[in-house]
Amino acid sequence: MILTSEQRTEAYVASGAWNNVTLGDLLHRSASATPETIAFEDVGVGAVPGLSARYSFADAERRIDGLAAFFAAVGLRPDMVLGIHLPPCADAAVILFAALKAGLVVAPLPVYWTKSEIEAAIEAASIKAMVTASEIESEPSGELVRDVAADTFAIRFVFAVGDGQPDGLIDLTEVLADVDALGEPPEVIRRGEAADHVALLSMARTPDDELLIVPYSHNQLLAIATGHLIEAGIAAPETVLSTMHPASLASVAGSMATALLSGGRIAFHHGTSLAGLASAADSAGADRVVLPEVLVAPLAASLDRPVAFSAVGAGLGLAPAPAARTVDLLTLGGLCLIPRARDADGSVVALPAGEARMGGIESAPVLFEAKIKTKAATRNRRAESGELLLGGAAIPDAPWPEPQSGRRSALLGVTSDGFLRTGLAAEEHEGRLVITGTLGETIGIAGITVSPKRLDALFRSHPSVEDAAVFPIEAGPVGHRLGLAVVPKAGERPSLTELLIWLDGEAAGKLDRPAALVSVPEIPRNADGTVHREALFLAAVA
């Protein structure tokens, strides 16, 4: 499926920002040049029983070809969407590349999502098949995804990897046991250049917490990776350690495509502790670690040797990082992946107003263009402010089609000239755009934005609660935790335990669960009626 207009496509190709190379082409190039070199490997303690692998480029490509043939044989057709519900691992990379070789589109299903969150993604992204593991961190993920499929008419197949799989799942380990018998990969015939077709769906959320599907073509993903390569100053093959979801933008463009462009390899680790992550970085001999921005400084302090970092963050309140060794991968809430090298002292570099060329090189192609959509009331201020708009070769420029069921979901906001509406407020200062927050109120929990208004309404619906409001609690390197203030009904005293049990019945997400509860006589509000959340935090710690 091609979503970018022919006019923009021609302009990006002419500029050199797009080269009509697919992710599969990139992998095949390395497999042809150095077939016995390691391509994908798992390091550290695995999150899935029986799942730990190390594949050379030749082994990986052989498995990818066989699995692509299998996907086609069971009836998965080009442009169908495969949801990947796996932690970062070598087998997930093989599955992802096999899906792309079969012409499928891949979408990440975060492993911490609840049943209702997965069901919402299936509806919004029109997912037709899923792949999961028997267990992930001792949680019965196989049973969870199987139950989702049983309740969702759209799902045709559920594939799984790892030991001890429950009944009803298609075991990909068994499928690949005789990979040569699976035949040749399908010949995918489609209009236009293969690299113009959508390869990946990123998951973001609107300020009101609606799920937003963000489509990326091969060309857009490789534009991001090329920009990352240049911004990071990568001039030789690198071993990149990825801790991100294997089908996320940060893993596909920021880790895998970047490593392959450098002629390097990718190691995977599902981090559950800082010590384990440090050990994995040493074991892999990582030159670069791609990880959430809040973990960069703690990990750097735990390592005995210099390592480069690519810090994945929303672009709001960026965490400290080692000087000159960090590139920010700005997600802007899951909408994008913009690589920006930090200053020599480790300071964040704001987005430039106007065109941003790769690596700041005047002769390099334009990676993205940033501007502000101003409101009439702000035009006379000293600092121009408004909504941040983004366009260019690395930026999604068209919405994913609405679900065929007719049920409406949030649609990506794109202007008529192909600029992405980010929903972020920004101000221009001396040619730089400083992001000041979101247009709607949000709270960042573990690097993910949630809507406090939605959560206020959720907790107000509890039968023992008269009024309620959430507030952020600083939690060191992990970002924020969620606090909850309630005004109990007369004669009621709801406890945190009771509320958490109640949330299970409300199909709440894991990020919706408060870590602290405080009872107050009333919810403080500002003059405009909005909740004074800082006052709630001060009441909680008083």
Highest-confidence segment of 13-22, 97-106, 160-169, 358-367: 97-106
Q: Give the model's pLDDT for residue 381.
A: 52
Average pLDDT over residues 271-285: 91
Query: Do both 46 and 159 map to the same domain?
Result: yes
| Cα Rg, the chain, nearest whole Å | 23
CATH, residue 506: 3.30.300.30
Query: Do both 133 and 272 map to the same domain?
Result: yes
**How far is it, in rounded angstroms, from Cα 4 to Cα 253?**
18
Q: Give the model's pLDDT for residue 321.
A: 67
Q: Which one of 285, 317, 341 terminates a domain? A: 341
3-state secondary structure of 410: strand
Residue 53 forms part of a structural domain: yes
Q: How many domains does the chain have?
A: 3
Of 530 and 347, the one with more pLDDT? 530
Query: Do both 324 and 367 map to the same domain?
Result: no
Of 478 and 96, the one with more pLDDT? 96
Q: Give the model's pLDDT for residue 137.
A: 86
Q: Give the model's pLDDT for residue 199.
A: 97
Task: Name the nearest CA neighbour of 129 among 167, 174, 95.
Answer: 95
Query: Do both 392 and 476 map to the same domain?
Result: no
Cβ(116)–Cβ(43) under 8 Å?
no
Q: Where are the beta strands (DSSP E) in 139-210?
A: 157-161, 170-171, 198-205
Average pLDDT over residues 54-66: 96
DSSP H stretches of helix in 74-217? 90-101, 115-125, 141-151, 172-175
Q: Give the model's pLDDT for residue 402.
A: 73
Of 438 and 273, the one with more pLDDT? 273
Of 343 and 228, the one with more pLDDT? 228
Average pLDDT over residues 101-120: 92
Q: Give the confidence band of 131 by pLDDT, cuts at 50, 70, 90.
A: very high
Answer yes or no: is pLDDT of 404 > 70: no
Average pLDDT over residues 96-102: 97
Query: Do both 116 and 156 map to the same domain?
Result: yes
Answer yes or no: is pLDDT of 489 > 80: yes
Average pLDDT over residues 481-491: 89
59-63, 80-84, 295-299, 324-328: which range is least confident on average?
324-328
Task: Name the nearest CA neighbour of 214 among 225, 204, 206.
Answer: 204
Query: Do both 234 and 190 map to the same domain?
Result: yes
Task: Name the nearest CA neighbour of 250 among 238, 241, 237.
Answer: 241
Of 528 and 157, the one with more pLDDT? 157
Q: Phi-psi category of 386—alpha, beta or left, where left has phi over 0 and alpha has psi -120 to 50? A: left
pLDDT in tens, 298-339: 898 899 888 999 999 876 655 666 655 789 999 987 889 999
DSSP H stretches of helix in 210-317? 218-232, 249-251, 258-262, 274-284, 296-302
Element (H, E) at 207: none
Answer yes or no: is pLDDT of 342 > 90: no
Structure tokens given for 464: 């023992």
Percent pLDDT > 70 in the chain is 91
Q: Give the model's pLDDT for residue 508.
A: 80
Q: List 241's β-bridge partners, or say none.
A: 267, 289
Query: Do both 297 and 359 map to the same domain?
Result: no
CATH, residue 323: 3.40.50.12780
Cβ(484)–Cβ(518) under 8 Å?
yes
Q: Give the confidence band of 411 by pLDDT, cuts at 50, 70, 90.
A: confident
Q: Give the model's pLDDT for residue 389.
A: 92
pLDDT in tens, 421-465: 888 888 888 888 888 777 667 776 665 667 788 888 889 999 999
Indicate the average pLDDT of the chain. 87
Structure tokens given for 391: 């366009």
**How far is it, in rounded angstroms, from Cα 454 to Cα 471?**
12
The contacts of residue 359 (CB under 8 Å, 6+ apart) are 227, 230, 231, 341
Compute, in degrees rounded to 10, the torsion defined by CA atoms 102, 125, 455, 491: -100
pLDDT in tens, 178-208: 998 999 999 998 899 999 999 999 998 876 6
Answer yes or no: is pLDDT of 12 > 90: yes
Q: Give the model's pLDDT for residue 196.
A: 96
Q: Give the model's pLDDT for residue 175.
A: 92
Average pLDDT over residues 250-259: 96
Structure tokens given for 301: 């302090």
Query: Do both 152 and 94 map to the same domain?
Result: yes
Structure tokens given for 292: 């959430």
3-state secondary structure of 298: helix
Structural domain boundaries enclosing 107: 6-341
**How far is it, in rounded angstroms, from Cα 239 to Cα 288?**
7
Structure tokens given for 422: 């980010």
**How far is it, in rounded angstroms, from Cα 308 to Cα 322?**
9
Residue 357 forms part of a structural domain: yes
Highest-confidence segment of 81-95, 307-321, 363-377, 495-509: 81-95
Q: Give the confidence band of 125 by pLDDT, cuts at 50, 70, 90.
A: very high
Answer yes or no: is pLDDT of 8 > 80: yes
Q: Which one of 341, 375, 406 terminates a domain? A: 341
**How far is it, in rounded angstroms, from Cα 62 to Cα 58?**
6
Cβ(141)–Cβ(132) under 8 Å?
yes
Average pLDDT over residues 58-71: 96
Q: Give the model's pLDDT for residue 18.
A: 94
Q: Give the model's pLDDT for residue 466.
A: 92
Q: Give the model's pLDDT for residue 510.
A: 75
The length of the chain is 542
Q: Give the confidence band of 472 by pLDDT, cuts at 50, 70, 90.
A: confident
Residue 346 forms part of a structural domain: no
**What sign has the CA pseudo-torsion 46, 158, 185, 223?**
negative
Q: Which one of 403, 418, 438 terminates a domain? A: 438
Query: Do both 130 and 277 map to the same domain?
Result: yes
Query: Do both 420 and 455 map to the same domain?
Result: no
Q: Give the model's pLDDT for residue 346.
A: 72
Answer yes or no: is pLDDT of 21 > 80: yes
Q: Give the confidence band of 409 by pLDDT, cuts at 50, 70, 90.
A: low
Query: Do both 430 and 447 map to the same domain?
Result: no
**How far is it, in rounded angstroms, from Cα 403 to Cα 384?**
38
42-56, 101-115, 425-439, 511-525: which range is least confident on average?
425-439
181-190, 279-288, 363-372, 379-388: which range is least confident on average?
379-388
Q: Dihedrals φ, ψ of 501, to 5°?
A: -65, -40
Q: Give the confidence band of 214 by pLDDT, cuts at 50, 70, 90.
A: very high
This prediction's pTM: 0.84
Q: Give the model's pLDDT for residue 230.
A: 92
Q: Give the model's pLDDT for residue 542.
A: 60
Query: Do both 395 and 476 map to the same domain?
Result: no
CATH, residue 357: 2.30.38.10
Residue 1 forms part of a structural domain: no
